[in-house]
């Protein structure tokens, strides 16, 4: 099967010896690292671009998703670092979100600029792909896996104030800057999409000052587990149950 993998941090261990492909789209070019992994064809994109420097509000989300679509990919697993807004979700935990809230402000959110198309968002994450991720996560201590959660996307690039987190935490569990519009565009392309969120910190007000390095440090610490989870999910992909994501 062909699987799309999107990440904002480096996981060179997964893409070592991969083939680099530049995919041209209507929105610009996207660099994809292609590799056979666990008997599947894996297409990897770093959402922050080739040099990994593009900030969340400037990511070319439309090119990234269209590039995967044009490679005939049906399933996307996307990896995120997030802040936790709940005392029950701790740094180093994993969350497989089931819903999201969009608090972005200035992004291109759609492929349908000139069409009156309204995509249903009752199940933004593919239930079958989520289930597969959750099953794969069983190799990790149960207390550290949260099988549900609401991901609130902020515009960034600044972090939130503690009053914002206080407000958001009434409605969502984790906060990050990059799920939207990636997930919306994947839905518009009728692709199955699920997210593996790595909690890199407690959100503003729940811990002292947050430094950018801290976000990548947790990811690096958790990398062996993340790689294991992803490999297991890719290996199990053939067991994925049917879903309705591909129906228009
Ligand atoms: N806020 C927003 N985005 C993030 C955070 C956070 O606390 N941690 C990682 N990405």
Question: For 49, left (φ over 0), alpha (ψ -120 to 50), or beta?
Answer: left
Q: Give nearest CA residue, ligand 1 atom 5.
A: 83
Tens of pLDDT along 140-175?
A: 776 799 999 999 999 999 999 999 999 999 999 999
Q: What percent of the chain has pLDDT over 70?
A: 99
Per-residue confidence (pLDDT) for residue 52, from 0 to 100? 86
Residue 9 pLDDT class (50, 70, 90 cuts): very high
**Cβ within 8 Å of residue 58, ≥6 positions away:** none
> From CA 198, how far away is CA 124, in angstroms rounded?
19
Instruction: Work out the percent of the chain whose per-residue pLDDT is above 90.
Output: 89
Report CA(201)–ligand 1 centroid distance (Å). 7
| CATH no., domain 2-239 | 3.40.50.1580
Nearest alpha carbon to residue 196 among 240, 237, 146:
146
Kindly state the tokens that stand for 199.
Answer: 């909690």
Question: Mean pLDDT across the stretch 31-35?
Answer: 97
Q: What is the DSSP letter of 41?
A: E
Structure confidence at residue 210 (pLDDT)? 85
Question: What is the atom index within ligand 1 of the atom nearest the CA of 203?
Answer: 7
Taking the model in full, what pTM does it have?
0.97
pLDDT digits (tens, 9 = 90+) for 195-246: 999 999 999 999 988 888 889 999 999 999 999 999 999 999 999 999 999 8
Q: In the predicted model, is pLDDT for residue 248 greater than 70?
A: no
Which ligand 1 atom is the nearest neighbour of the CA of 210? Answer: 7
User: Rounded to the nearest whole angstrom, what is the distance from the C-alpha of residue 143 to the centroid of ligand 1?
Assistant: 21
Domain residue spans in the chain? 2-239
Residue 50: is its pLDDT beyond 70? yes
Q: What is the DSSP-derived secondary structure letter of residue 204? A: B
- pLDDT at residue number 247: 78
**Which residue's C-alpha comes closest to atom 6 of ligand 1?**
83
Residue 58 CA, ligand 1 centroid: distance in Å: 16
Tens of pLDDT, residue by residue over 109-135, are: 999 999 999 999 999 999 999 999 999
Quote the pLDDT of residue 54. Answer: 96
> Mean of the per-residue pLDDT values for the chain?
95
Q: Quote the tokens at residue 73.
A: 């990919």
Q: What pLDDT is recorded for position 98?
A: 98
99 Cα to the center of ligand 1, angstroms: 17
Closest residue CA from atom 9 of ligand 1: 82
DSSP assignment letter at 87? T
Tell me, letter by letter, the H, E, C secondary structure of 89-126: CCCCCEECCCEEEEECCCCCCCCCCCCCCCCCCCCCCC
The three-state secondary structure class of 209 is coil
Ligand 1 pocket by C-beta < 6 Å: which residues?
A: 81-83, 154, 159-160, 175-177, 200-201, 203, 215
SS3 192: strand
Tokens coding 17: 């010896």
């Amino acid at each position: 099967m062909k699987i799309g993998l999107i990440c904002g941090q480096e996981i060179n261990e997964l893409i070592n010896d991969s083939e680099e492909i530049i995919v041209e789209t209507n929105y610009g070019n996207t660099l994809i690292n292609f590799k056979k992994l666990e008997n599947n064809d894996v297409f990897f994109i770093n959402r922050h671009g080739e040099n990994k420097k593009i900030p969340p509000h400037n990511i070319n989300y439309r090119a990234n998703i269209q590039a995967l679509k044009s490679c005939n990919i049906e399933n996307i697993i996307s990896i995120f670092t997030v802040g936790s807004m709940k005392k029950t979700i701790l740094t180093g935990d994993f969350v497989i979100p089931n819903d999201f809230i969009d608090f972005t402000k200035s992004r291109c959110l759609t492929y349908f600029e000139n069409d009156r198309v309204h995509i249903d968002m009752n199940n933004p994450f593919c239930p079958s792909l989520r289930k597969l991720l959750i099953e794969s996560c069983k190799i990790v201590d149960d207390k550290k896996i949260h099988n549900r959660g609401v991901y609130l996307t902020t515009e960034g690039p600044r972090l939130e104030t503690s009053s914002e987190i206080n407000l958001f935490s009434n409605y969502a569990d984790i906060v990050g800057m990059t799920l939207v519009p990636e997930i919306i565009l994947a839905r518009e392309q009728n692709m199955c999409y699920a997210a593996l969120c790595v909690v890199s910190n407690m959100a503003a007000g729940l811990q002292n000052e947050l430094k950018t390095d801290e976000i990548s440090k947790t990811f690096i610490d958790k990398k062996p587990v993340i790689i294991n989870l992803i490999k297991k999910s890719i290996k199990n992909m053939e067991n994925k149950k049917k879903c309705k994501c591909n129906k228009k």
